Homo-oligomer: A and B are copies of this chain.
Amino acid sequence: MVKLNENYKKLKVNYLFADIAKRVKDFQAKNPSLGIIRMGIGDVTMPLALPVVSALKNASQEMGAKETFKGYGEYQGYPFLQQAIKDYYTEFGVDLSLNETFVSDGAKSDVANFAELFSEDNTAIIPDPVYPVYLDSNLMSGRNITLIDGNEKNGFLPLPYSGLKGGIIYLCSPNNPTGAVYTKAQLKLWVDFANKNGAVILFDSAYEAFVQNPELPRSIYEIEGAKTCAVEFCSFSKTAGFTGTRCGYTVVPNDLKISGESLNAMWLRRQATKFNGTAYIIQRGAEAVFSKEGQIAVKNTLNYYRENALIMAETLTKCGIWFTGGENSPYLWLKCGMDSWEFFDLLLNKINVVGTPGAGFGKCGEGYFRLTAFNTKENTIEAMKRLKSLLS
């Protein structure tokens, strides 16, 4: 008789966003005429930029002609995209080799799968609150987990402390769900901790493009020593609207070795066995994100979302509500003054606005609430108007 992976029983039955979707669906079924504004799930609303669409169409055309057809690509991605990623990193003063970049079908897959390279007999250090994938993927593997608390006192940016133990450290900055961003000095504490203890940092930088303050790091490799202890996961999802187009990249430095073993070589072996590359068409679309025209279009979209975040931040400030995020992040994390699912139901029922209850991101998220800047400007203004009248 086959034995099941019993670790699945440690998972909560429903996925956070499925819970939310159900409550919204039930509400809408009862109130079909009410216009719900969704500021919950971190999905984008602005279309792909025209240079990206052109690249996708051209690549599709190439796939239809024998002379330009592409079969299996490289496991790490096409060199044209690896080169564009490498060039992009020079903007932050980070120098990468081509073979240090791995093109993926999105940061989520890689960040969830990377820990396969490590024994299940490891402790994972995971911030609370945080993107549920780090916790769930480690629960599925049966690893020990040490949660490190985010709270008002540390601005939801937990730091290493004396006695903290664990081999795998998950960090996300700009953070999902709190929007808080580690400074270089704070990240240096983590890098030093990891190098000193032989730990590996899995750094999720999916929201780096939202950083506006030039003093804040957009890549962990801006921190001295990071190349010997950190892997970085990034995505085109939020930068270029690729949530439904699926492309990301992972950086595994050649200098990152554990007991003499190269994690870069191990990850390549993993990908060669369990992945077959990202579609050629999609990689051409991603390449266009980095073109001059692509970058102009992408920056316009980012500014559009940033303006939304600003509108939201101003409203919360006016209402005297404590929050993090917004300035260098598409997320705002506010103190709701009540149970977070209660606040969710209040907003849904009273002002027909959907957000994400903080409790869905961990026990320290209880009493907090996430709003996102990814809706349209019109909806953002309307939602904030409703919120203001509800709270005042």
* A interface residue numbers (CB < 8 A to B): 1-6, 8, 11, 15, 18, 41, 43-50, 52-53, 56-57, 60-61, 63-66, 68-73, 105-106, 108-109, 112-113, 116-122, 132-133, 136-137, 140, 167-168, 197-200, 241, 243-246, 258-259, 261, 266, 269-270, 272-282, 285
What's the nearest-Cβ distance from chain B to residue A259, in Å?
6
Residue on B with the closest CB to A260?
Answer: B4
**CB-contact partner of A273 in B43, B66, B133, B270, under 8 A:** B133
Closest partner residue, chain B, to A270 (CB atom): B140
- A279 and B105 CA atoms in complex are apart in Å by 9
Closest 4 CB pairs between A and B? A2-B167, A1-B198, A53-B64, A56-B60
A11 to B261, CA, bound (A): 14
With both beta carbons as reference points, the residue of chain B lying nearest to A110 in the complex is identified as: B274
Least Cβ–Cβ distance between A62 and chain B, in angstroms:
9
Report Cα–Cα, A198/B56, bound state, in Å.
46
A112 to B214 CA separation, bound complex (whole angstroms): 42
CA distance A61 to B55 in the complex (A): 11
Q: Give the copy number.
A: 2
Of A109, A117, A276, which is in contact with the most chain B CB atoms at under 10 Å from its CB? A276
The docked-state distance in angstroms from the alpha carbon of A52 to that of B197 is 52
Residues of chain B within 8 A (CB-CB) of A167 are: 1-3
Interface centre among A168, A197, A259 (most CB of B within 10 A): A259
* Residues of chain B contacted by A198 (CB below 8 angstroms): 1-2
Q: How far is the CA of A246 from the CA of B63 in the complex (A)?
A: 12
CB-nearest residue of chain B to A229: B2
Q: Contacts A5-B118, A140-B273 given; 9 further ones with Cβ under 8 A?
A: A11-B269, A44-B71, A45-B71, A48-B69, A108-B276, A109-B274, A116-B140, A136-B273, A245-B281
Known: A8-B117, A282-B282. A246 touches B66 (CB 8 A): no
**A18 CA / B74 CA spacing, docked (Å):** 11
Name which residue of chain B comes closest to A65, CB basis. Answer: B47
Which of A6, A61, A244, A280 has its CB near the most chain B CB atoms (within 10 A)? A244
